Amino acid sequence: MIYDAIVIGSGPGGAVAAATLAQQGKSVLLADRQAFPRDKVCGDGLPIHVMLMLHEMGIDVRKAGIDYHRVTSLSIEAPSGRTLTTHEVSEDVFSMTATRMSFDLALHRKAIENGAKFEMMNITKPLMDGNRVVGVVERRDKTLIEHEAKVVIAADGASSALARTVRGRVQDADKTAVSIRAYGVLKKPMPPCVYFYFPRDLIPGYAWIFPSANGRCNIGVYLHNREYKARTEGLETLLKQFSERMQAEFPHEILSETAQTWQLPLFTDKQVRHVPGMMFVGDAGQFVNAITGGGIYPAMLTGRAAAQTALEVLDGTATEAAYEPRWQQAVGGSLGTAWLIKQYVASNAAVFNGIFWLATLPVLRAPVLRAMSGEHY
Ligand SMILES: Cc1cc2nc3c(=O)[nH]c(=O)nc-3n(C[C@H](O)[C@H](O)[C@H](O)COP(=O)(O)OP(=O)(O)OC[C@H]3O[C@@H](n4cnc5c(N)ncnc54)[C@H](O)[C@@H]3O)c2cc1C
């Protein structure tokens, strides 16, 4: 069978792409190497826009079985120790944290409910006809199996095999970050606020502690690879130190088995995100916010943009090249700004502190916090 579309990876990027295509009656194979529900190493922070997008997709956060925790404020500590906090006003639409186990499952189910066919597959490379991608190649035990499609969407995450075969492994330390997160059991409830700490020795990286569902917190450290490689301590040590620092304010006990690290491919430039027959979305397309490491909302937006382009490709009214202006319109501005802020503000303690000093003016507070938090609220 030749599918209209094959989507590889059922994280937020792939699930949104598959749900959008299947809703339009296209035959969609959605493939992931893991069975669902599955976890993903993450801070679980979801900006307010995610809830709006879920609503547009017909997913009601309150009814979809998502383990979410409503967040009503955001706090950022600058290297100087100055802290700025802001509050959300809306009651109906809100920022939240949500376990990836439950959040990704809700999106995955939506794709299937809309008509996508899900199969567990380990995809190793694209299937080529000349210079055009015409499907994917699955490795099952020692056998290679070909699956054909008119268009392929690569949403296979930060370790994307499909992206590697096209552009090689991203090794530039300025374009990648690493992060560790763990869950902790809170000994007393935390305020419904997401806390970001930018200490002098981590910038442009930071540490976070977020309240999570079921009396837990999500705690972690995010470092750009350039700074990480220059350090002697590992991420586990940095997490332990940060957890100790947080005990006085937010006492918690780390669940050590949940401490995991993973890589983040950062958005740094406007490189091309398609080849004939295939488009890259989410982490596979390097759409991660360089300040915050936030990539869920960009994955959802680029997943939708790729699906809209695929519909035009299937109608014969466009080629995959139409994806370029679409993703640029969807995420290019905000991710490009985040990269500049990472380079010129978050990397320099004096500039960072100066901007935070200015942002004590109420009129500047919201835009500064919005920019520094990757438009979190
Ligand atoms: C520690 C940490 C904290 C983070 N915190 C946040 C946060 O608070 N907020 C935020 O917005 N973002 C955060 N991120 C980033 C966020 O997790 C990613 O940007 C997001 O998951 C990207 O979604 P995706 O759909 O592109 O990829 P993923 O969610 O990674 O999904 C990719 C899917 O592809 C599948 N796959 C991979 N390879 C293959 C293969 N060969 N064949 C078949 N299937 C395959 C995987 O099994 C997976 O299900 C964090 C990342 C890290 C590492």
Read off the pLDDT of residues 172-201 as tens digits, 9 standing for 90 and up. Answer: 778 899 999 999 999 999 999 999 999 999
Distance (Å, whole) CA 232 – CA 301: 37
% of the chain residues with pLDDT over 70:
98
% of the chain residues with pLDDT over 90:
88
Expressed in angstroms and rounded, the spacing between residue 131 Cα and the centre of ligand 1 is 28
Expressed in angstroms and rounded, the spacing between residue 96 Cα and the centre of ligand 1 is 18
Expressed in angstroms and rounded, the spacing between residue 7 Cα and the centre of ligand 1 is 15
Distance (Å, whole) CA 46 – CA 24: 27
Higher pLDDT, 372 or 96: 96
Pocket residues: Cβ below 6 A from ligand 1: 8-14, 31-34, 40-45, 121-123, 155-157, 159, 161, 179, 181, 220, 262, 264, 282-284, 288, 293-297, 299
Place of tokens 């401490």: 259
90 has pLDDT over 90: no
Over residues 358-366, the mean pLDDT reads 86
318 has pLDDT over 90: yes
CA distances from 113 to 116, 140, 155, 231, 288 (A): 7, 27, 19, 47, 28
pLDDT at 364: 86
Residue-wise pLDDT for 153-175, tens only, equals 999 999 999 999 987 766 677 88
Across the chain, what does the average pLDDT equal?
94
Q: Are 138 and 171 in contact, with CB atoms under 8 Å apart?
A: no
pLDDT at 174: 80
The residue whose CA is least distant from atom 10 of ligand 1 is 294
Expressed in angstroms and rounded, the spacing between residue 351 Cα and the centre of ligand 1 is 32
pLDDT at 371: 80
Atom number of ligand 1 nearest to Cα 281:
26
Backbone angles phi, psi at 58, to 5 degrees: 85, 25
Place of tokens 């091309």: 272
The residue whose CA is least distant from atom 51 of ligand 1 is 42
Residue-wise pLDDT for 12-60, tens only, equals 999 999 999 999 999 999 999 999 999 999 999 999 999 999 999 999 9
210 has pLDDT over 70: yes
Give, as one character, the DSSP assignment of residue 189.
P
pLDDT at 171: 67
Expressed in angstroms and rounded, the spacing between residue 283 Cα and the centre of ligand 1 is 6
Which amino acid does the sequence have at 148?
E
351 has pLDDT over 60: yes
Structure tokens at 193: 């606020």
Atom number of ligand 1 nearest to Cα 284:
26
The residue whose CA is least distant from atom 29 of ligand 1 is 11
pLDDT at 369: 83
Dihedral of the alpha carbons of 63, 67, 68, 69, in degrees to the nearest 10: 120
Ligand 1 pocket test target in 6, 36, 40 with most atoms within 8 Å of CB: 40
Residue-wise pLDDT for 228-270, tens only, equals 999 999 999 999 999 999 999 999 999 999 999 999 999 988 7
The structural domains of the chain, ordered by start, are: 2-72+96-170+266-344 (3.50.50.60), 176-264+354-372 (3.30.9.100)
